[in-house]
Amino acid sequence: MAQAPRVRFAPSPTGYLHIGGARTALFNYLYARRFGGNFMLRMEDTDQERSTPESVQAILDGLKWLGLEWDEGPGKEGKYGPYFQTQRLDTYRTHSERLIAEGKAFRCYCTREDLEARRAAAEKEKRAYKYEGTCRELKAPPAGRRVEDAVIRFKMPREEGTVSFNDKVLGVITKPYSDLDDWVMLRADGIPLYNFGCVIDDHLMDITLVSRGQEHVNSTFPQLMLYQALGWAPPEFAHLPLILGPDREKLSKRKHPEADVMLHKRNGIMPEALLNFVIRLGWGHGNDEVISREQMLEWFDFADVGSTSGVWNPEKLLWLNQQWFKLLPPATVAERLVPFLEAKGISARGDARLEPLVLALRERARTLEEMATTATIYFRSGVTLDEKAAAKHLTGDSLKLLAQVREQLAALPAWSTDAVDAVVKAVSEQAAVGMGKVAQPLRVAVTGNTTSPGIGETLMLVGRDEALRRIDSALTRTA
Ligand code: GLU
């Protein structure tokens, strides 16, 4: 690669960071990092009604949570700024005036009502509306209209021709000029429309490759016409396949809550798992499923992005999260578990049991939320017995065994996993019953239920005094 790539993520800040945006950001980020380039963030905040500072913040927070740090952009000013389109209006004005002067764009004075009526008429006749070219040749505003009222339209060449590009994912795509019309570049108030702002910025910001969702393929044609008119070389393009929800409908904010990146954070999915999940929506490396950031950086290229849609598989996300529980250091998982425990009223920061707890629970829990729910019994005082479990395991002979265990546990000189296990073994041998006959009543007494990590480990995590108190309470309850 001759030139270090400069790529960008250019969200419109009109809501939270969604999964499609996260994927676009991830692919661009990886490409820039892998090839020693630059990953830029540009806010396309031209929709003044829907763009909000909260959305900007939500996007920045989402990217940071995923660890997709941008090299330039909001909060990281560089020589290509400003990085908010609404702060670049002079630039758009200058370039549109230049195009008018060169006869490649024109002011259009048609009123909104007029255009709407024309569009409605076309719809009635079931033909696609295309701007008629009404104002193409006007040299001055018509009577009653002022220059300030005009929008600026691109002057599409009238001769026959085609525009095409070689997409890195989709291959060569071509469109005849006749499919395009004199599209609006700039509104009367100086706000650029997407195609115009995007091209001006991508060029001035020296972007070498534009990667975005496939819904923008059709925008690429008018954009290429503009590059041509301005005498600028266009960047490369890589349009990413669609992402479908679990129902196989296009993943959308409206229909699919899982489109919200931060929902997964709240649900207890870890960023490593979500990134791992997202990279597989359209890209693959052999049969590899669990992919680390290092591997992503080593392997990712747009050449391996497929054109078939990625389908959301909720089970796979949970599975990946569990894999990442096992791959990350327990201290890291423990750190992330703390806020989930706090949300349940348990302050566990600094508790020495956190890491052993993660080691014990990560075999079963699939999210931090699940892990925290299971973990509550180790922190609260007392336990609520599951009635069914108690009815089965805390009666008759089982209670006698439990009383024996209690006695021996209380006599232990030191409380450890092995010591507890040894007591369970000794009591079962004395009574000539299987270990389960002793361990299960003990487990129910201490955890309230029939599933938990190994019995020694469980009692270790609950702690000596609390464990004995729970056993006592089980013994009195049913005595
Ligand atoms: N603002 C556009 C969007 O969020 C950007 C598309 C592009 O990357 O060119 O969809």
| pLDDT value for 58 | 97
- pTM to 2 decimal places: 0.93
Residue 11 Cβ contacting ligand 1 at under 6 Å = yes
Convert the pLDDT of each residue in 208-245 to its tens digit.
Answer: 999 999 999 999 999 999 999 999 999 999 999 999 99
* Assigned domain for 69 exists: yes
Given pLDDT bands bounded at 50, 70 and 90, which one contains residue 478?
Answer: low
Catalytic option among 253, 316, 392, 425: 253
Average pLDDT value for residue range 357-380: 95
446 has pLDDT over 70: yes
Quote the CA–CA distance of 94 and 96 in Å, as a whole number: 6
Distance 71 CA to ligand 1 centre (A): 18
Q: Is residue 223 part of a domain?
A: yes
Which residues, 6+ apart, have CB-to-CB distance to 353 below 8 Å? 378, 461, 463
Task: Specify whether 218 is located in the same domain as 145.
Answer: yes
CA distances from 402 to 343, 455, 474, 478 (A): 34, 13, 9, 12
Instruction: Supply the pLDDT for residue 396.
Output: 87
Phi, psi of 180 (to 5 degrees): -105, 155
Q: Would 447 be classed as within a structural domain?
A: yes
Please say which residue of 240, 270, 291 terminates a domain. Answer: 240
Q: Residue 344 catalytic? A: no
Same domain flag for 215 and 97? yes
Does the CB atom of residue 8 touch ligand 1 within 6 A? Answer: no
With respect to residue 291, please indicate whether it lies within any of the assigned structural domains. Answer: yes
Which residue's CA is the nearest one to ligand 1's atom 3? 11
Candidate of 6, 7, 8, 12 to mutate for ligand 1, largest count of ligand atoms within 8 Å of Cβ: 12
Q: What ligand 1 atom has the least distance to the C-alpha of 211?
A: 8
CATH number at residue 57: 3.40.50.620
Contact yes or no for 224/165 (Cβ under 8 A): yes
Number of domains into which the chain is organized: 4
CA 405 to ligand 1 center in whole angstroms: 66
Whether residue 44 has its Cβ less than 6 Å from ligand 1: yes
Residues 363 and 229 in one domain: no
Is the C-beta atom of 370 inside 6 A of ligand 1? no
Same domain for 97 and 74, yes or no, is no
β-strand pairing of 38-41 with 162-167? unpaired
| Residue 205 contacts residue 40 (beta carbons within 8 Å) | yes
12 Cβ below 6 A of ligand 1: yes
Full residue range of the structural domain in which residue 420 is found: 387-475
Q: How confident is the model at residue 33 (pLDDT cuts 50, 70, 90)?
A: very high
344 in the same domain as 298: no
104 shares its domain with 10? no
**Do both 286 and 405 map to the same domain?**
no
Domain match, 394 and 351 both: no
Quick one: average pLDDT of 435-444? 96
Note the pLDDT tens digit of each residue in 389-399.
Answer: 999 999 988 99
Nearest to 345 by CA among 322, 379, 371: 379
- Coil, helix or strand for 249? coil
Region 440-457 average pLDDT: 95
**What pLDDT is stored for residue 479 in this prediction?**
47
Categorize the per-residue pLDDT at 1 as very low, low, confident or very high, splitting at 50, 70 and 90: low
Assess whether 348 and 465 both reside in one domain.
no
Three-state SS string across 438-460, please? HHHHHHHHHHCCCCCCCHHHHHH
Q: Is pLDDT of 148 > 70? A: yes
Q: What is the CATH number of the domain that holds 436?
A: 1.10.10.350
Task: List the residue whose alpha carbon is closest to atom 5 of ligand 1.
Answer: 10
- The reply to whether 68 and 111 lie within a common domain is no
Dihedral sign for Cα 399, 401, 403, 406, please. Answer: negative
